[in-house]
Structure 1
Amino acid sequence: MACRGKSVTPPLSITPGEVHVWRTHLTRDTDTLILLKSLLSPDELARADRLRDQGKREEFIACRGFLRETVARYLDKDPAALRFETGEQGKPRLADGGPLRFNISHSGGLCLLAVTVGCDVGIDLEQRRDDLPYRDMARRYFSPRERDELFSLPDGEQLDAFYRCWTRKESWLKGCGTGFTQSSDSFDVSLLPGHPPALIAHRALPGEPARWSLADIAVPDGYCASLAIAGDRPVVRYLP
């Protein structure tokens, strides 16, 4: 439950080489939303107010409140006292510095938060849509290698492969802090069934594949999620 002051739950600890992946549904009752809203900064409240759709506004409040509550437990601080800032491309981070790193993603009412220490991390979650125009999106955003591999698969396997590729690419872009300001067709990730998640090649930055590890994240049916972390393949712990 959201509350002001330090959390009543025990502080959390994390060691280098671990990634904690938290999952929550963003549907909240009115009283909980009021409590979560009380944790947000003036900037976050202004961002929420700019969302005209009530459902999206409530999801934003629930997502940011969840982020504050969870990160505060690692720092043993008041969730409302946390100060966030964003990098040049909008990636959130703690304004006071320190080794804790995190990244958050939400889609279709579900939210994932990845927390680690000492290295950059990115996570992406997508709700699967059977009517997605994935072939057009692949032609626009995927590299030639990725497109060739995707379209070489039987039709019944292509949508799953598309989501594997998309979430792996976006998790890496979020981990770098660039998002889609970096050309998404300038690098390749794995997507074929049975192939481990990996950043295979980067034509502008050939040293990047050796610096990053990718992992698929377990999510409910109807979703797809991937994680990218700078460093060796992490130990992933799932937390409620």
Structure 2
Amino acid sequence: MNQATVAVHRWPVSRPLLAAAPEAGPDLIVISIATPDSTLRHAARAQLRGAVREVLGLRLGSSPGAIALVSKPGQALRVDLPGHTIGLSASHEAGFSVAAIHRCGPVGVDIVRLRDEFEWQPVARDYLGMDAFERIACQAQPEQMQAFAREWTRLEACLKYLGIGLQEWSLSLAHRLGACRVSELELPAGLCGAVVYGLTDQAS
């Protein structure tokens, strides 16, 4: 299910906006940072974690250094803060990273950089299913990569929200994915992204 697009706040430019009336702020915040233009993500992850701590410090009225983030291979970034149910999710592309912070529970976010030379067809057949494959294939050739990126980031954001790993398409998986509320992200040209932070009324 699609929702309205979600703004992405450039950090640290957006600090004054996010610092204003933190308790009355939105339940969901998505930030972006400029990172090294490299596919090696160690520096990007460290930089993004620092930004997340600063944003959480603003929202919670706490020192960023007092906010512990737990990061384990293959698991979502999480806040080690008793009494809070804050959800975190992150996604990286070379030169650009985003983090979603949801005050009220799980969240999933994903971005992808558009690459015209990418052969999307076999990936779409295996992981997106034939309905999505046909939605992409029916687009004009120049629009197919954008359509694939939209479907792919929706998939990844849903999987992250649900806490399950990437797997080939199945009917049972499609039912679970269909219960997610998906919003597209407002991103710079050349990037596509999605965020999930809740289920449809029928599923919740």
**TM-score scaled by length of structure 1:** 0.65
Report 1:18-167 matches (<5 A). Answer: 18-27=27-36, 56-85=41-70, 89-97=74-82, 98-167=84-153
Aligned to 2:6: none
Identity of aligned residues (%): 21
User: Is the counterpart of residue 203 in structure 1 residue 172 in structure 2?
Assistant: yes
Check the 8 A contact 1:119/1:231 in 2, yes or no.
no
Check the 8 A contact 1:89/1:177 in 2, yes or no.
no
Residue number among 22, 31, 34 corresponding to 1:12 in the alignment: 22
Q: Where do 5+ consecutive residues of structure 1 fail to align?
A: 3-8, 29-52, 187-201, 234-240
Q: Where do 5+ consecutive residues of structure 2 fail to align?
A: 1-10, 13-18
Check the 8 A contact 2:68/2:81 in 1, yes or no.
yes
Q: Distance in 1 between matches of 2:93 and 2:199?
A: 27
- State the shift of 1:79 in Å: 2.0
Check the 8 A contact 2:48/2:98 in 1, yes or no.
no
- State the shift of 1:204 in Å: 4.9
Please give the secondary structure, in 2, of the residue aligned with 1:142: helix
Q: Distance in 1 between matches of 2:22 and 2:188?
A: 25
Q: Distance in 1 between matches of 2:24 and 2:77?
A: 19
- State the shift of 1:82 in Å: 2.0
Aligned to 1:179: 165
Deviations 1:48-73 (A, max 9, x none): xxxxx896433232122112222222
- State the shift of 1:110 in Å: 1.2
The change in CA–CA distance for 1:130 and 1:208 in structure 2 (over 3 A counts) is closer
- State the shift of 1:91 in Å: 1.2
Q: Distance in 1 between matches of 2:114 and 2:154?
A: 15
Aligned to 1:168: 154
Amino acid in structure 1 at the alignment position of 2:96: L
- State the shift of 1:85 in Å: 3.1
- State the shift of 1:216 in Å: 0.6
Check the 8 A contact 1:87/1:93 in 2, yes or no.
no
Check the 8 A contact 2:182/2:196 in 1, yes or no.
yes
Amino acid in structure 1 at the alignment position of 2:122: D
**TM-score scaled by length of structure 2:** 0.75
> If you compute each CA radius of gyration, which structure gives the higher value, 1 or 2?
1
Aligned to 1:38: none
Q: Distance in 2 between matches of 1:177 and 1:209?
A: 15
Q: Distance in 2 between matches of 1:166 and 1:116?
A: 22
Aligned to 2:188: 220
Q: Tell me the matched-pair count.
A: 184
Amino acid in structure 2 at the alignment position of 1:223: L
